[in-house]
Structure 1
C-alpha cells in the first residue's frame, strides 16, 4: 500500500491549524493536533463522487475541527474501516524470484552463513452569512454541512462554535466561496471527556454530485512541511491528474480492472468490474500548490509494481547449481585425464610387445 504520509502544522499557538491532503484541521487555542497519515479512496461514476478518508492523528487536543470544501451539497456518513485494508491488498506489489548462477558476497563460500540475498523493497462577518444545511452525530464526529457567501463568515461561524482559524486559511477559502462551493465542517470530539484525539480515527465518507472527478487540494498550500498525497481511485477507466498543480509528477502504483468484494463492493454500490488506480504524489514545496486536482480518464493500460527477490539457483534441497556444475566439470576433467593416461599406458605396452 501504497499508502500517503502527512504532518502539517500551520498557524501559531493563538490559531493553530493543520492542512491535510483534503481539507484543514484546527484545534483549540492552546492545543495541538497533527495528521500523521491521511488515506483517501475516491469513487466516481460520472455523476456522483464519494470520498472516504481515514486520519491518523497525534497531539494533545481533546477536540478539533476539520473543514473540507465540496463543489455541491454533500451527504456525510461513517465509512467502512476495512476498505483500506482491502485496497492495500489489491494494489500491493507482485513478488517474484530472480535467480542468479554464481555465488555472491552473502553466499558460500564467501560468507559463513547461508543467506538468500533477499532484495525486498518497500507500498468579522455575522453568522447569517453561513447557512447550516444539516447537522448530525456520527460516532465520535459532530458533522455540520455549511454554505457560506463570505470566507470570513465561515471563520466567524467556526469561532462561535469554539474554534479559531488563521487569516491565511480564510484567504485560501475565498476561491471556493467565489465558485459557490459548500463545506463540510466536522467537530472531532471523543465521547469520554478528557480523552485526547490520538491514533486512527473512524473513516468518514462524503458524497456529492459532480460531473468531474475533483479532489480538493488548495488548502494544502498552507502547510509548512512537505506533503504526500495517496489516492485510490475507483472509476470506469484508469484515472490520472490533469497536471501536477505545483507538486512532483504523480506516480501510478497500480492500475487495473478489479472485481469488487466486501467493503470495496460497498463503496462501488455492488456494480461489476471497475478500474482501480492507485496514485502517489509528493509536494516538496506546498506553497506552490495552485489548485485542486482534477482527474481525467486515460488509456486503460494495466500496471502493477513488481518486487524481485534475488536468490541463488539451487536444486535438490538447496544444493547450489554452480557447485554441481563445477564439480561435474572437475569430475569429467579428472575422468578424461585418467582415460587418456590409461590409453597411453596400454599403447606403450602394445608397442613394447
Structure 2
C-alpha cells in the first residue's frame, strides 16, 4: 500500500526520485519513475585486477534510465550473464539435513575533450549505450552528464569531485529506446536487465557505493518510506582468501576449485565468463540491508582473520586429509594386530 501511495504522489507531481544503487547511481529522466529493488554483484580479484559483474533490478518506467558507475581505473566494459548469479545462488544455498542474446556492437575510442571531460570510449552492448569518461573538472563533468540526459543533481557534485580528485573514471550507461524487442521489454519490466562486466586495475578490492548516497533534487523528501527504504546488497567475492565487511553477514564461505569456477557460466561462444589462473579460490557471500543515508563511502573488502568455512560442504582437501588420517589409524591398528599375533605365536612355540 505504501508503495502505491508513493507512486501515485510521484505520478501526479511528475517528479521522479533518483534510484540508488550500491554499484552506482540510476538517474531517470524527470518524467520517468523507476523503483530500484535489489543490487547484486560478483567480484573476482586476482593480481591487482578486479572483475566486477553488476546485476541491476528495478521496476517502473525505465526505457531511458541513466546509470553512472565509478571505478578507480579505466574499465573494460562487456556483457555478462544471469547464469553466473543463478549458479552462485545454487552453489551457496544453505545446507539442510533433508534433501536469446543480442550481438555486441563494435566499440569506438572517441577520445575528444569537451572542456575538461575526456570521452575514452563509446559502444553499444545489447540494449546498453556505454560511455567511459575521464574528467578533470567537476563542473564540466556535471554539465556533460546533463547535456547527455543524465539528470545528476547539483547537490551531489561534491561526490563527483572526490572521485575526480582520486583519479577515478566514470562509466555512463543508458538503455537505447529504439533498440528493443519483446524479450528486452520483459527483462526491463520484470526488473532483470542483462548484467554488465567491468574489468579494471585496483590495488584493493572495492565496491563503488558512495555515489549511491545522493538524493535527487526532485525527490519528495516527506516520503518517509522512500527515505528509509532498505535495499539488500548481495556480494559474491572470489579471491585468494575469505573476505568480510563491517555489518555484512557472511551467508557462505568456502573454497572453490578452478574447474568449478569456470563452470559457473558460459558466454555465447561456450567460453567461461571467469577464467582463473590458480587451482583454487575462496568464495565469500556477503549481505546487508542499507538505507541511502548509510551509503556514504565506497566498500573496501577486508581479508578475514582465517579461512573458516560457513555453510560450505567439506572441501576436497579436507576430505582428503580426513581420509588420510582414517587410513593411518586403520593401518596402525592392523600393524598392532599383526604384532600381537606374532607375539602370541612366539610365546606358544616356547
Shared fold (TM-score, shorter chain, > 0.5): yes
Choose which of 272, 281, 298 in structure 1 pairs with 2:279.
Answer: 272
Helix, strand or coil at the partner of 2:97 = strand
Per-residue Cα deviation, 1:276-300 (whole angstroms, up to 9, x for no partner) = 00000122x4324431111122211
Gap regions ≥5 residues in structure 1:
1-7, 99-125, 307-353
Instruction: Tell me, in whole angstroms, the C-alpha distance in 2 between the residues paired with 1:132 and 1:297.
Output: 35
| Pair 1:177 & 2:164 matched | yes
Task: Give the conservation status (yes or no) of the 8 Å contact 2:127–2:180.
Answer: no
Instruction: Tell me, in whole angstroms, the C-alpha distance in 2 between the residues paired with 1:256 and 1:140.
Output: 36
Per-residue Cα deviation, 1:59-103 (whole angstroms, up to 9, x for no partner) = 1232111001100011000002210011011100001159xxxxx
Structure 2 partner of 1:134: 121
Choose which of 192, 200, 203 in structure 2 pairs with 1:208.
Answer: 200
| Pair 1:228 & 2:232 matched | yes
Shift of 1:143: 0.4
Per-residue Cα deviation, 1:182-227 (whole angstroms, up to 9, x for no partner) = 1011112251399864221111000100111011111232363223
Helix, strand or coil at the partner of 1:304 = coil
Q: 1:273 to 1:184 in 2, by over 3 A?
A: same
Shift of 1:15: 6.7
| Pair 1:303 & 2:322 matched | no
Which structure has the greater CA radius of gyration? Answer: 1
Structure 1 partner of 2:80: 79
Instruction: Tell me, in whole angstroms, the C-alpha distance in 1 between the residues paired with 2:201 and 2:292.
Output: 28
Task: Give the conservation status (yes or no) of the 8 Å contact 2:248–2:286.
Answer: yes
Q: 1:47 to 1:79 in 2, by over 3 A?
A: same
Structure 2 partner of 1:59: 60
| Pair 1:258 & 2:256 matched | yes
Structure 2 partner of 1:319: none
Q: 1:189 to 1:207 in 2, by over 3 A?
A: same
Q: 1:143 to 1:179 in 2, by over 3 A?
A: same
CA RMSD of aligned residues (A): 2.7
Instruction: Tell me, in whole angstroms, the C-alpha distance in 1 between the residues paired with 2:158 and 2:28.
Output: 19
Instruction: Tell me, in whole angstroms, the C-alpha distance in 2 between the residues paired with 1:221 and 1:296.
Output: 22
Instruction: Tell me, in whole angstroms, the C-alpha distance in 2 between the residues paired with 1:163 and 1:290.
Output: 21
Instruction: Tell me, in whole angstroms, the C-alpha distance in 2 between the residues paired with 1:305 and 1:263.
Output: 16
Per-residue Cα deviation, 1:38-57 (whole angstroms, up to 9, x for no partner) = 21100001310011011122
Choose which of 129, 136, 139 in structure 2 pairs with 1:149.
Answer: 136
Q: 1:60 to 1:238 in 2, by over 3 A?
A: same
Instruction: Tell me, in whole angstroms, the C-alpha distance in 1 between the residues paired with 2:139 and 2:231.
Output: 26
The structure where helix makes up a greater share of residues is: 2
Task: Give the conservation status (yes or no) of the 8 Å contact 2:48–2:204.
Answer: yes
Helix, strand or coil at the partner of 2:143 = helix
Q: 1:266 to 1:211 in 2, by over 3 A?
A: same
Task: Give the conservation status (yes or no) of the 8 Å contact 1:16–1:28.
Answer: no
User: Which structure exhibits the higher relative contact order, with contacts defined as CA atoms closer than 8 Å and separated by 6 or more residues?
Assistant: 1
Q: 1:179 to 1:127 in 2, by over 3 A?
A: same
Q: 1:16 to 1:127 in 2, by over 3 A?
A: farther
Shift of 1:305: 7.4
Structure 2 partner of 1:339: none
Instruction: Tell me, in whole angstroms, the C-alpha distance in 2 between the residues paired with 1:279 and 1:132.
Output: 34
The structure where strand makes up a greater share of residues is: 1
Task: Give the conservation status (yes or no) of the 8 Å contact 1:64–1:189.
Answer: no
Q: Map residues 14-33 of structure 1 onto 2, 5 A cutoff.
A: 16-33=17-34
> TM-score, normalising length from structure 2?
0.69
Q: 1:272 to 1:305 in 2, by over 3 A?
A: closer
Shift of 1:235: 0.2
